[in-house]
Amino acid sequence: MEPTVRRTPDVSLREVFLVAASGLAGEDDRARVVAEALDYLQRGFENHYAARDGATDEEILVGDNAYAWAVETIALLDEPRFVAVASRMIRDGAGRIAEGGGVTLELWTPHLAGLLEVISGEGRERSEARIREATGEVRARNG
């Protein structure tokens, strides 16, 4: 049996997003909700695309359920910009996996920055810098 291959970033998207959003002037519950949706999304990708040669039916169902929770969670915000960014994130991740690769944090960083930009209003460049700084902090903290 072939070992399970990691298909998503090796760092928690939830943690990275929460660290990046911490201390924002207009911080509210949206950052927590987006972080929760990112956690579901990451789990969905990890389960759905668990094995190199295809996931089991059970893994696909678990992954699909996690995707559904991610979409439902982000929809609670009733903000079309969040949904637009999240859908591009899913599309780009699925495309990378369909090509035989894994989803890297570098691939998803612009999407994470887009989600953060909706909350912060600071612009894409600053939001992306926050995501990169938070990634370093989370990786350092978790070893």
What's the CA gap between 129 and 108, in Å, rounded? 13
What's the CA gap between 31 and 45, in Å, rounded? 21
In the chain, the domains with their CATH numbers are 13-138 (1.10.600.10)
Tens of pLDDT, residues 78-95 = 889 988 898 899 889 888
Tens of pLDDT, residues 4-20 = 456 678 899 999 999 99
CA distances from 84 to 40, 50, 140 (A): 17, 26, 31
Coil, strand, or helix at residue 2?
coil
The fraction of the chain above a pLDDT of 70, given in percent, is 87
The contacts of residue 64 (CB under 8 Å, 6+ apart) are 44, 48
